[in-house]
Structure 1
Amino acid sequence: MTFEETYLNDNILDALYDMHFEEMTPIQERCIPEILDGHDVLGVAQTGTGKTAAYLLPILSMLDDGGYPEDAINCVVMSPTRELAQQIDQAMEGFSYYLNDVSSIAVYGGNDGSRFDQEIKSLRGGAPVVIATPGRLLSHLKVGNLDLSRTSFFVLDEADRMLDMGFMEDILQINKLLPPTCQKVMFSATMPGKIRELAMSLLTNPVEIKLKVSRPAEKIHQMAYVCYEPQKVGIIEHIFKEGNLKRVIIFCGKKDKVKDINRTLLKMKINCAPMHSDLTQQERDDVMYRFKAGQVDVLVATDIVARGIDIDDIGMVINYDVPHDSEDYVHRIGRTARAERDGEAITFVSDSDVYRFKEIEHFLQKSIEKLSLPEKLGEGPDYEALKKPERGRSKKRYKKRSGTSFAGTHSRKKQKKGKE
C-alpha cells in the first residue's frame, strides 16, 4: 500500500515524495488509517519497522489541516531517552518540510542552564509539537512553563523502555494533566503485564496492532571494527586499499563529519561525493545522479537524506558512527544486498559507542563478526570489557549543534527549499 492511498494531506505527501517514501511498512499501513480516524492505538513493534512515521505522519497531517489552537501544545511525544527524542525530532524535520505552521521543540535533560532557558521561551510561546523525556517535561510542568489542558495528541514511544527506566509514575502524573478528549498512541517492543496495565490506564478502547520483528536481509555480511575514534580514518584507508571497491555508502551521524570524511577521502584519491543537509536540492539531485550513473564510487551521507538512496547495486555500507538505534542500523545496512545481490555492512564501533552496538546485537539476536584492526593502527578497545555508561552522563556527541539544530532546541518555521 502506498502513502498516496491514505488520506494524508498533500503537504505531507509532498514531503514524502521528496524523501522517496512510497510504500508503507506494515506498521504504517495499519496505524496511519486508525490514527487518522481518531482511534487510540496500541502498537507492538520492534525498532526498524517505521513506527515513528506511523504516528508522526497522521498527527502532522491533522495539525496541518487546522482547527487546533495556535497558542497550545497540540501534541506531546514522550521518549525514554534524549537520544530517541533527538531522532524523533529529526524525523519531524523531514516530515514537516512543507508545513509552515507546525514546528517542534525537543526537551530533555543533561544540558546546561542556557538550554533550559531556550526551552522555556519556546514552550511559553506555544509549540505545536513537543518531544520530551518524562523527567524534563515534569520539570517544566512543575514551574508552569507549559499547559497540557488543551493538548490533542499524546504519544508514548518505547513504553517498555520507559518502565524499565522507572518512569511509570512520571507518565501517569503527566497523563492526569491531559484533557479527556486527547487522542493517545502507545508503542512498545514487548507486551508484558505492566505494559498492558499501563495501556489500560492511558488508552480508551484502543485498536491493538502487533507486528513480528523485522530483521536485515540474510545476504548482508555484517562486520564491525572495535576501535578508538582516531583509528577510523586508518580503517577506511585499509578497506579501500584491500580491494577495488565501488558502489559504497559511508553513513555518518553529523553533516560536519560528512564534510570532513569526504575531504579526507578526496586526499586519498577516492572518487567520492558528500550528501548532507547544507546542500541545495539541485546539488543533492546532482550528487545522486552522478552516483547512480557510476560517476561517483563512494557516497558519504547523513541519515537525514539516507531514505532518498534507493539503488540496487550498492556493494558495501560503512557505518562510520554507530547508529542511534536498531531502526537506524537496519535501515542503513538495508541499502545493500538488494535485488538478490550479496552485500557487506561494516560498522566502526568506538569505545564510547560499544553499549549502543551491543543493544543492536541484542535486537538482531546475533553477535556481529568483529574484525581485527590493521596492524599499523595498534590495539583497539576491549569490546567485552566495556560496560554500559552511567545513566545521566552527558556525552560529547550529543552536545547542541551550532546553527540550525535537528535537536530541536527551539521552535522552527519551515522553509520550502534547501532545508534538508
Structure 2
Amino acid sequence: MKFTDLGLDQRILDGIDAMGYETATPVQQQVMVPILEGKDIIASAQTGTGKTAAFLLPLIHRLLTVPHDSNEINAMIIVPTRELAIQIAEGLEGLSYFTDVSSIAVYGGSGGDSFNAEKKALTQGVDIVICTPGRMIAHLNMGYVKLKGLKYLVLDEADRMLDMGFNDDIMKIISFLPKERQNLLFSATMPMKMRELARKILREPVEINIAISKPPEQIVQKAFIVYEPQKIPIIKDMLGGSKFQNVIVFCSKKQNVKQLTAELKRAKLSAEEIHSDLDQTKREQVLQDFRNKKLNILVATDILSRGIDIEDIDLVINFDVPNDGEDYVHRIGRTARAASKGTAFTLVSEKEQNKFAAIEALLGEPVLKGTVPEEFGPTPTYNPRAPRQGGQNRRSQGNRRNGPPRGDKKK
C-alpha cells in the first residue's frame, strides 16, 4: 500500500516524498487506519518495522485536520530513553517539515538551558511533546505543564519502560491527563504486566500483532562456540578486513565494552564505545559520527538495541549472549533494516550455552554454528545441557567455510 492511498493531508505527503518514502510497511498499513479513525490501539511489532512513522503520520494528520488549541499540549509521546526521544523528534521534524505542527523533546541529561526551553514550551503550549518519564514528572511537579487540552497519548517501547521500572511514573503522568483522549500503546513483547497496563489505560483497543520474536529472514545468523578468553582475539580477526563497513558489537557489561574498544583501537580499527557512563553530549557525538561514516565500529551496551534508527548496518556481533530471546531479536534487528540483507554473529562461551539454547528454542530452530580458525586454539563442543569444563580438543560444530571473516593479515 502506498502512503497516497491512506488519505493523509497533502502537506504530510510532501514530507514523506521529501524523505524518499513511498510504500507503507505492514505495521504502518495495519496501524494507521484505526489511528486515523480515532481508535485506541495496542500494537506489538519487532524493531525495524517502521512503527514510529506508523503513529507519527496519523498523529500529524489529526493535528492538521481536527480542531485543537494551539496554546495547549495536544499530544504526548512517552519513551524509555533520551536516545529514542531524540530519534522520534528527528523523524517528526522530517515528516512534519511542510506543516506548522510544533514539537519538543523533553529528556534528562541535558543542561539548564534545555530545561528552561522545555519549561517555556510546556507552559505556552506545543502540539507534540516527546518525553522520558522522569523528566516529565520533574516538570509536572512544578505545576506549570498545560495538559487540559491533551487529546493523544502514545507509549512507545512500553515493555522496555516496564522493565526499567517506570510503571509508577507512567501512571503518575497519566493521572494529570484528561480522561477523554486517544491512547496508542506500542510494545515489542506482550507479557502479562503489559496486558495489565493496557487494561488500565486503553478503551476498546484495536489489537495488532506483527512478527514478534522472530528476526528478519534476510539476516544471516551464525554462532561461534568459544572460550571466554578467545572472544576479543576472534572479534579483532573478524573486523580486521574490509568486508564489513558498519558494525555494532553488543556487550552485556560496560566493562566488556571498554575493554573491547581499547583492544580494537590498539589494533588500529575505527571503533568507539557507547554506554551510560558517557555524558549525553559524547553519546550523541559518537552516534552522529557513526551515522556520518566517520566511524565504522560501535561497541555498545543494550542502550542501542532498541529504538535507535541507524541505517546500513552490515554486521551485528553479540560479544555476550543476550539475556533472552527478545533481547537477541532486538540486537540483531539493528542490521537488515528496510528489507536489506545483514549478518549477525554471536560468540557463545561455555557458561552461556544454556542461555543460547533457550534463545534457539524461542527462534524455533538452531542457529548455524560457525567454525573458529585453528590458530585460535581448541574450542568447546556445543552441549548446552551439560557444558564441558576445561580444555577440549574437539572443534565446535560447523564447517570451515562458515568460519568468521578473516582479517587482511590472515589472507
- Give the TM-score normalised by structure 1: 0.59
Code of the residue aligned with 2:314 in structure 1: it is V
Instruction: State whether residues 310 and 334 of structure 2, in contact with CA within 8 Å, keep that contact through their aligned partners in structure 1.
Output: no
**Structure 2: runs of 5 or more not aligned:** 225-229, 249-285, 297-307, 320-326, 348-355, 376-411
CA 335–189 in structure 1, closer or farther in 2 if over 3 Å, else same:
closer
CA 190–258 in structure 1, closer or farther in 2 if over 3 Å, else same:
closer
Mapped partners of 1:325, 1:52: distance in 2: 21
**Structure 1 counterpart of 2:161:** 162
Instruction: State whether residues 141 and 147 of structure 1, in contact with CA within 8 Å, keep that contact through their aligned partners in structure 2.
Output: no
**Structure 1 counterpart of 2:215:** 215
Within 5 Å, give how 1:161-310 maps onto structure 2: 161-213=160-212, 214-218=214-218, 220=220, 238-240=240-242, 250=246, 254-257=287-290, 261=294, 306=311
Instruction: State whether residues 39 and 182 of structure 2, in contact with CA within 8 Å, keep that contact through their aligned partners in structure 1.
Output: yes
**Structure 2 counterpart of 1:106:** 105
**Structure 1 counterpart of 2:302:** none
Within 5 Å, give how 1:8-407 maps onto structure 2: 8-65=8-65, 67-99=67-99, 101-213=100-212, 214-218=214-218, 220=220, 238-240=240-242, 250=246, 254-257=287-290, 261=294, 306=311, 317=314, 330=333, 332-334=335-337, 345=343
CA 149–16 in structure 1, closer or farther in 2 if over 3 Å, else same:
same
Instruction: State whether residues 73 and 127 of structure 1, in contact with CA within 8 Å, keep that contact through their aligned partners in structure 2.
Output: yes
Mapped partners of 2:293, 2:126: distance in 1: 35
Instruction: State whether residues 4 and 13 of structure 1, in contact with CA within 8 Å, keep that contact through their aligned partners in structure 2.
Output: yes
Code of the residue aligned with 1:57 in structure 2: it is L
CA 206–152 in structure 1, closer or farther in 2 if over 3 Å, else same:
same
Indicate the larger mover: 144-153 or 117-126: 117-126
Instruction: State whether residues 79 and 158 of structure 1, in contact with CA within 8 Å, keep that contact through their aligned partners in structure 2.
Output: yes
Sequence identity of aligned pairs in percent?
37
Give the C-alpha shift of residue 93 in structure 1: 2.3
**Structure 2 counterpart of 1:280:** none
**Structure 1: runs of 5 or more not aligned:** 265-302, 310-315, 350-357, 376-420
Instruction: State whether residues 48 and 328 of structure 1, in contact with CA within 8 Å, keep that contact through their aligned partners in structure 2.
Output: no
Q: Which has the higher contact order (CA 8 A, sep 6+)?
A: 1
Instruction: State whether residues 64 and 102 of structure 1, in contact with CA within 8 Å, keep that contact through their aligned partners in structure 2.
Output: yes
Code of the residue aligned with 2:83 in structure 1: it is E
Mapped partners of 1:135, 1:326: distance in 2: 27
Give the C-alpha shift of residue 206 in structure 1: 1.2
- Give the TM-score normalised by structure 2: 0.60
Computed over aligned residues only, the root mean square deviation of the Cα atoms, in angstroms, reads 4.1
Instruction: State whether residues 80 and 133 of structure 1, in contact with CA within 8 Å, keep that contact through their aligned partners in structure 2.
Output: yes
Mapped partners of 1:117, 1:106: distance in 2: 13
Mapped partners of 2:187, 2:221: distance in 1: 29
Q: Secondary structure at the match of 1:239?
A: coil
**Structure 2 counterpart of 1:5:** 5
Mapped partners of 1:19, 1:345: distance in 2: 26
CA 121–325 in structure 1, closer or farther in 2 if over 3 Å, else same:
farther
Mapped partners of 2:132, 2:369: distance in 1: 34
Q: Secondary structure at the match of 1:261?
A: coil
Query: Deviations for 1:362-417, whole angstroms, at most 9, x for unmatched residues?
Result: 9x9688989999x9xxxxxxxxxxxxxxxxxxxxxxxxxxxxxxxxxxxxxxxxxx
Mapped partners of 1:112, 1:326: distance in 2: 35
Mapped partners of 2:190, 2:66: distance in 1: 35
Instruction: State whether residues 107 and 137 of structure 1, in contact with CA within 8 Å, keep that contact through their aligned partners in structure 2.
Output: yes
Instruction: State whether residues 316 and 334 of structure 2, in contact with CA within 8 Å, keep that contact through their aligned partners in structure 1.
Output: no
Query: Deviations for 1:216-252, whole angstroms, at most 9, x for unmatched residues?
Result: 2356356999879xx99x987x423xxxx6xx76489
Instruction: State whether residues 317 and 335 of structure 1, in contact with CA within 8 Å, keep that contact through their aligned partners in structure 2.
Output: no
Query: Deviations for 1:183-223, whole angstroms, at most 9, x for unmatched residues?
Result: 11111223233222221211112111122225223563569
Instruction: State whether residues 49 and 327 of structure 1, in contact with CA within 8 Å, keep that contact through their aligned partners in structure 2.
Output: no
Instruction: State whether residues 319 and 347 of structure 1, in contact with CA within 8 Å, keep that contact through their aligned partners in structure 2.
Output: yes
